[in-house]
């Protein structure tokens, strides 16, 4: 999992990347979510293979996975394009996340192992005193918090689903980032959530997570509707 100040988002530790296709998938997803490959831009497979120093076959496999996760659109005889961001996607994503993220928080509180709780407490330690993290560092921290909660739920299907939707939501967040001053507050409001999980308070954790997801949608909608 990426650490604060890392240049990568949404990628597991290098030792956890099992194949070249996985490496290509996480690298290209990073380019899309970070907006380095902008919404609507053409995907040039040859350029990607050269840029990532990964062969054509694993790159193609990665692109197929990204199409399944709705980050790439494929048009016969036209090519591949980075999926555009529609403001209506925000409401649809919120409908899914507001149903599933609170459940992940509840399960994390109820199922978290001692090792899981150590990870939760480490994250709490990073939230006790607001640091001088830049925007990228704050987003990295937000990602680590959410992915830790997903993992602590001990449900592989739920974890995989939420990671996919988190990536889609994060891309919207990055699009609106320069127009909203709520990033730091949004990240540090996770403190109550992590404390509830560490205390085993599943119902409280679920409610706090629900409020967090809804607050995210409200803040991002206000910004995107102005553009």
Domain harbouring 144, CATH code: 1.20.120.530
User: Is 7 part of any domain?
Assistant: no
Does one domain contain both 36 and 104?
no
> Cα–Cα distance between 60 and 66 in angstroms, integer?
10
pLDDT score recorded for residue 130: 62
> Cα–Cα distance between 127 and 122 in angstroms, integer?
9
Does one domain contain both 115 and 191?
yes
Q: What's the number of domains the chain is made of?
A: 2
Does one domain contain both 107 and 215?
yes
Between vectors from CA 115 to CA 111 and to CA 117, what angle results, nearest 5°? 60
Does one domain contain both 68 and 135?
no
- Give the pLDDT mean for 145-156: 96
Does one domain contain both 59 and 96?
no
Does one domain contain both 33 and 75?
yes
The domain boundary, picked from 54, 82, 110, lies at 82
> Cα–Cα distance between 97 and 38 in angstroms, integer?
24
> Cα–Cα distance between 45 and 66 in angstroms, integer?
13
pLDDT band at 136 (very low <50, low <70, confident <90, very high): confident
pLDDT band at 59 (very low <50, low <70, confident <90, very high): very high
The domain boundary, picked from 58, 82, 106, lies at 82
Does one domain contain both 67 and 173?
no
Does one domain contain both 191 and 107?
yes
> Cα–Cα distance between 118 and 27 in angstroms, integer?
29
Is there a contact between 33 and 9 (Cβ–Cβ < 8 Å)?
yes
pTM for the predicted model, two decimal places: 0.80
> Cα–Cα distance between 212 and 182 in angstroms, integer?
12
pLDDT score recorded for residue 137: 82
> Cα–Cα distance between 176 and 144 in angstroms, integer?
20
DSSP bridge pairs for 42: 81
Does one domain contain both 205 and 98?
yes
The domain boundary, picked from 47, 63, 82, lies at 82
pLDDT score recorded for residue 38: 92
User: Is 3 part of any domain?
Assistant: no
> Cα–Cα distance between 25 and 104 in angstroms, integer?
25
Which strand (E) or helix (H) includes residue 43?
Answer: strand 42-43
User: Is 91 part of any domain?
Assistant: yes
Token representation of residue 126: 């990073």
Least confident of 4-8, 95-99, 205-209: 4-8
First to last CA, the chain: 33
**By residue range, what is the domain housing residue 77?**
14-82
């Amino acid at each position: 999992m990426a650490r604060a100040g890392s240049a990568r988002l949404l990628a597991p530790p290098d030792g956890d990347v099992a194949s070249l296709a996985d490496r290509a998938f996480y690298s290209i997803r990073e380019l899309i979510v970070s907006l380095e490959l902008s919404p609507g831009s053409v995907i040039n497979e040859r350029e990607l293979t050269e840029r990532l120093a990964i062969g054509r076959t694993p790159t193609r496999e990665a692109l197929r996975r990204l199409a399944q996760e709705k980050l790439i659109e494929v048009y016969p005889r036209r090519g591949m394009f980075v999926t555009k961001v529609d403001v209506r996607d925000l409401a649809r994503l919120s409908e899914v996340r507001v149903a599933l993220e609170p459940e992940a928080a509840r399960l994390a509180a109820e199922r978290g192992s001692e090792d899981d709780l150590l990870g939760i407490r480490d994250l709490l330690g990073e939230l006790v005193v607001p640091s001088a993290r830049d925007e990228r560092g704050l987003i990295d921290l937000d990602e680590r918090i959410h992915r830790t909660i997903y993992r602590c739920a001990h449900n592989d299907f739920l974890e995989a689903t939420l990671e996919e939707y988190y990536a889609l939501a994060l891309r919207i967040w990055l699009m609106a980032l320069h127009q909203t001053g709520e990033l730091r507050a949004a990240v540090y409001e996770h403190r109550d959530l992590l404390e509830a999980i560490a205390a085993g308070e599943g119902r409280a954790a679920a409610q706090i997570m629900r409020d967090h997801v809804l607050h995210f949608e409200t803040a991002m909608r206000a910004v995107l509707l102005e553009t």
